[in-house]
Amino acid sequence: MNSPHHKRILIFLLTSVGLIVLPHSVNIPPALFGFFSLMLGWRFACVWRPQYLPTVRVLFFLTMLALVLLLSQHRHLLGRDAGTNLFILALGLKLLEIKAERDIYLVTYLAFIVAASLFLYEQSLFMAAYILAVCCVLFATLVAINSLQIHTRAALKTATVIVMQAIPLTVIIFILFPRVEAPRWMLFEEKNKAKIGLSDSMEPGSISDLGTSEELVFRVKFTGDIPPPKLRYWRGPVLSYTDGKRWTQVRFKAPVANPSYAGTAYSYTLLMETQEKDWVFGLDLPAQFSNPLVQNGYYQLINLENPHKRAEYQITSYSQYNTGNLTRSEYQTSIQLPREPSDKIKQLVTQLHGFDSKPDALIQQILNHFRQEDFHYTLTPPLMEDNPIDSFLFSTKRGFCSHYASAFVYLMRVAHIPARVVTGYQGGQFNRVGNFLEIRQANAHAWAEVWLENQGWVRVDPTAAIAPERIEQQLNLDQLELGGDIRFDAGDAKQLNWLKQTRQLWENADYQWQRWVVNYDSNNQSDFLSQFGIHDFKTMMQWLMTLVGLMTVILSGFLLYQKKKATDPVLRLYQQFCQKLQAAGLTRTDREGAVDFAHRATTALPEHAEIIEEITTAFIQLRYGRVTTREDFGKFAKLVAGFKLNNRKP
């Protein structure tokens, strides 16, 4: 392994391994990633200083240390994270054992497994392209070992060509091979992984923490009209109980009433990203939805299957609806207060005619109060640890959506009017390229619902009273910073610059990748193939075998029926040498080897025997030798160029 040829292969392989494990730096604990980095750096140094390779005892100690580190982080060896980390540590240790070509093969195959494990964490189009690129680099390592293409560019070119030739077969197998869903008991879920998102409770600061996050939550593609920004309320958890600081869900088993719907029906396909909860955020208010979704007593959509899996749903919603009458338990829950309200609160409700006017009149009075008094919308309000409602209404008067929604609901309840807080998302960035909406964590929002006679639950958004641009326009995520000024843009109407156009083009490509590749499960496969008349397993297998066989024949014909041409510069120079001998009446047959041809040529041209043998020896070394250099090729080229014959024939 000390020859220049093998050193180049080692450097090539170690670089490939480093590129493969690099994305895992955000997935594995720092201690384990640091251990692997140490092993990789150690092996890099030993390319030039092989005497520093560890002994068997040192390797045993490092292996025990790796196991201790692994168990200290996971306490077991099962599950996605523990299994991935085990492979990465094994790969790092195996790097120190590379002493022969056999070890290079083992490391390469293990690196392929680690590369595939990246899909367990991220299935984006960028990650797929990255993994394909590093796998081409790994495959080039095998090409360099099994052929004499010692130059990096040549090995990469050959590996890329082979991979590209395999893509048509891969596509056919992907589309037609039966999709097998893993049993539930085989899924090792990592429950200890916290994920950013809405929770089933709310207190000042909870939504502010999400306000600057660009993490994608879901994407929506409408089949018809797209609702205007002011109607883009995506319903999530409904919070009815409060202790004065925190608002939480009340999990009662009330049946879902059948609301009456009116106005425009918005039909759309919603692609949810993976999340910790089983919530699906339908446009307020969902009326029809596909399995496995159900609707709870708060008209919130719940996923009955695995919520940790990216999934797509067909939903129809209406912006105008009537939820009907309240049950007794709903009424009691919706007027609940933790304690007797303060005198200031009572005076404010009296001043707003909350005890002697109709509910809809009080709603307008409270909204006017927010508009006319010195209230401000900000993501960085002052702390309000004690009596947050009183502090917000009479002291700070600064807050974001959760402050306004909770204060509004509290005032309505003081007037004995049923009200509750609804959390979810509002708005969404419109992608012109793909014609869909992207909803991110920065769109997290809270609003209120008030129950009115003959109308049912009616949405009221107090934030719209103090900051209507938050509802009518989109947050400028590129310039949004916690503690800085909140900026908005017109979103749909604003002309996009080239940078945003490029970004939307990429996001559309990723959206299509998620829909048609990552989310291509057994149900989607059945729907897709049924369009071509493939409805059963037998027909699917017939199509699969037919297309695979046809593609194999096409690729084989392409490889075998190519015009014979010498792309190898060594072979091309040797053919020039043979053409010079042909001028003297010496023609090399197809079955005649270089040595036999040289023997016949030296017999016919004894005066040129020395140069003929020298050229033949150099050709065999360059063509079939294990180790060659650029200097060897240059010498061979000079010999061929300087070879000349007399015009006479033997």
Long-range contact set of residues 343-351: C-beta below 8 Å, sequence gap at least 24: 344/390, 344/393, 344/394, 345/389, 345/390, 345/393, 345/410, 345/411, 345/414, 346/414, 348/393, 348/411, 349/411, 349/414, 349/415
Task: Note whether 107 and 8 are same-domain residues.
Answer: yes
Task: Note whether 231 and 367 are same-domain residues.
Answer: yes
Q: What is the pLDDT of residues 565-610, one digit of tens each?
A: 445 788 888 888 998 998 888 888 878 889 999 999 999 999 999 9
pLDDT tier at 195 (50, 70, 90 boundaries)? very low
Q: Left (φ > 0), alpha (ψ -120 to 50) or beta: where does 416 sit?
A: left
Task: Check pLDDT > 50 for residue 497.
Answer: yes
The pLDDT, as a whole number, for residue 460 is 94
Span 620-646, mean pLDDT?
82
Q: How many residues does the chain have?
A: 650
Are 322 and 348 in contact by the 8 Å Cβ rule? The answer is: no
Q: Left (φ > 0), alpha (ψ -120 to 50) or beta: where does 188 sit?
A: beta
User: What percent of the chain clears pLDDT 70, i.e. is strictly above it?
Assistant: 86
- Could you tell me if residue 393 is inside a domain? yes
Task: Note whether 550 and 574 are same-domain residues.
Answer: no
- Could you tell me if residue 508 is inside a domain? no
- Mean pLDDT comparison of 115-119, 412-416, 500-504, highest-scoring range: 412-416
Range of 544's domain?
A: 520-562
The pLDDT, as a whole number, for residue 583 is 84
At 436, give phi and psi (nearest 5°): -145, 165
Task: Note whether 530 and 485 are same-domain residues.
Answer: no
The number of domains in the chain is 4
- Could you tell me if residue 648 is inside a domain? no
Task: Note whether 474 and 587 are same-domain residues.
Answer: no
The pLDDT, as a whole number, for residue 281 is 94
Are 460 and 363 in contact by the 8 Å Cβ rule? The answer is: yes
- Could you tell me if residue 188 is inside a domain? no
- What is the Cα–Cα distance from 552 to 168, expressed in whole angstroms? 10
Identify the helix (H) or strand (E) that includes residue 237: strand 233-239
**Burial (CB count <10 Å: 0-12, 13-18, 19+), residue 612:** buried
At 376, give phi and psi (nearest 5°): -135, 150
- Could you tell me if residue 585 is inside a domain? yes
The pLDDT, as a whole number, for residue 483 is 42
The chain-wide mean pLDDT, for the chain, equals 84
Amino acid found at 271: L
The pLDDT, as a whole number, for residue 185 is 42
The pLDDT, as a whole number, for residue 508 is 87
Task: Note whether 170 and 244 are same-domain residues.
Answer: no
- Could you tell me if residue 10 is inside a domain? yes
Are 139 and 44 in contact by the 8 Å Cβ rule? The answer is: no
Among 509, 540, 562, which residue terminates a domain? 562
Identify the helix (H) or strand (E) that includes residue 5: helix 4-21
Span 66-91, mean pLDDT?
84
Among 562, 589, 624, which residue terminates a domain? 562
Give the three-class secondary structure for 167: helix
Are 287 and 261 in contact by the 8 Å Cβ rule? The answer is: yes
Span 40-68, mean pLDDT?
91
Q: What is the pLDDT of residues 312-330, one digit of tens each?
A: 899 999 999 999 888 888 8
- Mean pLDDT comparison of 51-60, 68-77, 137-146, highest-scoring range: 51-60
The pLDDT, as a whole number, for residue 193 is 43
The pLDDT, as a whole number, for residue 397 is 87
Are 236 and 279 in contact by the 8 Å Cβ rule? The answer is: yes
Our measurement of the distance from residue 139's CA atom to the centroid of its chain's CA atoms, rounded to an integer in Å, reads 24
Q: Which residue has the tokens 């609806």?
A: 321
Task: Check pLDDT > 50 for residue 375.
Answer: yes
Task: Note whether 573 and 557 are same-domain residues.
Answer: no
- What is the Cα–Cα distance from 152 to 135, expressed in whole angstroms? 15
Task: Check pLDDT > 90 for residue 65.
Answer: yes
pLDDT tier at 350 (50, 70, 90 boundaries)? very high
The pLDDT, as a whole number, for residue 161 is 87
Task: Check pLDDT > 80 for residue 78.
Answer: no
Angle between helices 101-117 and 4-21 (to 10 degrees): 20
Long-range contact set of residues 340-346: C-beta below 8 Å, sequence gap at least 24: 341/410, 341/414, 342/387, 342/390, 344/390, 344/393, 344/394, 345/389, 345/390, 345/393, 345/410, 345/411, 345/414, 346/414
Task: Note whether 232 and 205 are same-domain residues.
Answer: yes
Structure tokens at 449: 């619902």
Q: What is the pLDDT of residues 389-417, one digit of tens each?
A: 888 899 888 888 889 999 999 999 999 99
Span 279-298, mean pLDDT?
91
Task: Note whether 361 and 253 are same-domain residues.
Answer: yes
Span 192-220, mean pLDDT?
67
CA distance readout (Å), 167 to 143, 161, 265, 536, 556: 18, 10, 42, 26, 14
Structure tokens at 554: 């096409």
Name the β-bridge partners of 218: 272, 439
The pLDDT, as a whole number, for residue 235 is 94
DSSP character for 398?
E
Q: What is the pLDDT of residues 529-565, one digit of tens each?
A: 888 888 888 899 999 999 999 988 888 887 776 545 4
CA-CA-CA-CA dihedral for 116, 119, 124, 128, to nearest 10: 10
Reference 377, options 455, 289, 486; nearest CA is 486
Task: Note whether 53 and 13 are same-domain residues.
Answer: yes
The pLDDT, as a whole number, for residue 520 is 83
Task: Check pLDDT > 50 for residue 81.
Answer: yes
Q: Which of 49-63, 136-150, 543-557 has the lowest mean pLDDT?
A: 136-150
- Could you tell me if residue 494 is inside a domain? no
Task: Note whether 547 and 584 are same-domain residues.
Answer: no
Structure tokens at 634: 């240059």
Task: Note whether 463 and 598 are same-domain residues.
Answer: no
The dihedral sign for the CA sequence 525, 527, 528, 532: positive
Task: Check pLDDT > 80 for residue 351.
Answer: yes
**Burial (CB count <10 Å: 0-12, 13-18, 19+), residue 563:** exposed
Are 43 and 107 in contact by the 8 Å Cβ rule? The answer is: no
The pLDDT, as a whole number, for residue 190 is 47
- Could you tell me if residue 504 is inside a domain? no
Are 267 and 220 in contact by the 8 Å Cβ rule? The answer is: no
Provide CB contacts within 8 A for 384, sequence distance 6+: 204, 391, 392, 395, 396
The pLDDT, as a whole number, for residue 505 is 87
Task: Check pLDDT > 60 for residue 187.
Answer: no
- What is the Cα–Cα distance from 91 to 83, expressed in whole angstroms? 12
pLDDT tier at 370 (50, 70, 90 boundaries)? very high
